[in-house]
Amino acid sequence: MTKTPDSAVRSYIDQHEDAFLADLADWLRIPSVSADPGRAGEVRRSAEWLADKLRANGFPVAEVWETDGLPAVFAEWPSGEEGAPTVLVYGHHDVQPAAKEDGWDTEPFEPTVVGRRLYARGAADDKGQVFFHTLGVRAHLAATGRTAPAVNLKLLIEGEEESGSPSFAALVRREAERLAADVVIISDTGMWSETTPTVCTGMRGLADCQIDLSGPDSDIHSGSFGGAVPNPADVAAALAAGLHDADRRVAIPGFYEGIVELTDEERALFAELPFDEAQWLKVAKSYGTQGEAGYSTLERVWARPTAEVNGIWGGYTGPGGKTIVPAEAHLKLSFRLVAGMEVEKVREAVAAWVAAQVPEGIRYEIVFPGATRPCLTPLDHPALQSTVRAMGRAFEQKILFTREGGSGPAADLQDVLGAPVLFLGISVPSDGWHSINEKVELDLLRKGVETSAYLWGDLAENFRP
């Protein structure tokens, strides 16, 4: 039997919530800041703490995995049932830097409960959202009488996400056999709001580049030579201005090749969300919207590709004038990618476009650093529907759908493991990820525990790979 009685789950959570929160607070006290080399030892201590706690919570396998950088944690709890699906939960145990003098009302690494809110660095991003699975799986077992989860449950909790996950892709490739799964659950995400629970179905990818343009061998007199030799600052400006057409579509030939278009159903679901554009602009610290014609603001942010000028510089920028043709200019561009777009094809299209735009007499170099592929799970995927049902039982209301406009390591898991990626998170925008006074809503954290408890039985019954 895999069905998890709601009342039994809630009763178990009631009985164990205080101990769960005490354990979480202990973990939050570890300042596992991956960006600070001086705290590498704390990141390791965080990994070892989690591995020990997972074993204490019943996982028969819980290991600290070394990487070229900071350690990750792997745990596994086999179902023991033939044909049970295998689920891999991803999260991270490293956190952003934080100090009281940044403007915190409390010490960021001394967890503080105010009402039904827990304040601490990592409370929402991402220790709280990782840790709710420990109580969730125990509630699942207690309510069903099982001695092992209804699914083959695996966890991969990395230690460098807040530093760009530099070692993650290599780790996933190295351990692909042990990480093999039928579905991946990302618990490093959020919901629309406290009153509007949502499931994220996709995340955009990212490619970026720097273009370095050289003209004369040194700055030269604009009176003697201006208008007769090419100016690299002019070329940088022309490239930036030529990125979009009049409808704000990216004007690079071949850029949209292979793109998966939004369906009418997805557009209708996005439209159900209580989106306040004026409030959104305040959060964006902006004074007007702009984007590809024919799409709403949410559709532009979540489901359409973009090209952005991240930086442009060159020539003289000091006080007063300096009448020169500058020797060089520089341009940083980034491209958000959506499902169906291939990183290499986008890079090739960008490189070909730049080559066609740069005039004779200008030398240039274009460098593409690392990239992230997009991921998208279809609305009708049975594992996604299990997630929606589990959240619906926990929240006792209709679950709506979002996507993420940003990028993350989810695509590495999808690419290497060949498994669909789902997103299960209970954090909300007011939680202050990466900001001062980060917190998690304890009532929502409890809903995460409850969702986790329901999910494993639902997947076992309705998702047979």
Q: What is the 3-state secondary structure (H, E, C) of 202-264?
A: EECEEEEEEEEEECCCCCEEHHHHCCCCCCHHHHHHHHHHCCECCCCCECCCCCCCCCCCCCH
DSSP string, 119-149: ESTTTTTTHHHHHHHHHHHHHHHHHHT-SS-
- Give the pLDDT confidence score for residue 199 in this predicted structure: 97
Least confident interval from 248-262, 281-295, 398-412: 398-412
pLDDT at 265: 95
Kindly tell me if the per-residue pLDDT of 186 is higher than 50: yes
Phi and psi angles of residue 356, each rounded to the nearest 5 degrees, phi first: -75, -25
Q: What is the percentage of the chain residues whose pLDDT exceeds 90?
A: 94
The phi and psi torsions of 450 (rounded to 5 degrees) equal: -65, -45
pLDDT at 357 over 60: yes
The pLDDT value given to residue 453: 98
CA distance 245 to 294: 14
For the cut 90, the answer to whether the pLDDT of residue 2 exceeds it is: no
Question: How high is the mean pLDDT of the chain?
Answer: 96
| pLDDT value of residue 370 | 78
Is the pLDDT at 1 greater than 60? The verdict is no
Averaged pLDDT for residues 136-160: 98
Q: Any idea which fold 6-203+374-462 has?
A: Aminopeptidase (3.40.630)
The predicted-structure confidence for 10-40, as pLDDT tens digits, reads as follows: 999 999 999 999 999 999 999 999 999 999 9
Q: What distance in Å separates the CA atoms of residue 151 and residue 14, rounded to the nearest whole number?
A: 24
Residues 6+ apart with CB under 8 A from 377: 201, 202, 383, 384, 420, 421, 422
How crowded is residue 107: how many other Cβ atoms within 10 Å of its Cβ?
15
> Cβ(130)–Cβ(91) under 8 Å?
yes
Task: For residues 364-375, give the mean pLDDT.
Answer: 91
Cα–Cα dist 373/242, whole Å = 25
Identical fold, 6-203+374-462 and 205-259+305-372: no
DSSP-assigned beta bridge partners for residue 404: 203
**Looking at the predicted structure, is the pLDDT value of residue 105 above 50?**
yes
* pLDDT, position 3: 67
> Mean per-residue pLDDT for 378-386?
95
Beta strand pairing status for 183-186 and 86-92?
parallel
**Tens of pLDDT, residues 209-254:** 999 999 999 999 999 999 999 999 999 999 999 999 999 999 999 9
Fold of 205-259+305-372: Alpha-Beta Plaits (3.30.70)
Q: What is the mean pLDDT of residues 179-194?
A: 96
Percent share of the chain, pLDDT over 70: 99
CA distance linking residue 110 with residue 169, whole number of Å: 33
Average pLDDT, stretch 315-325? 96
> What residue spans define the domains of the chain?
6-203+374-462, 205-259+305-372
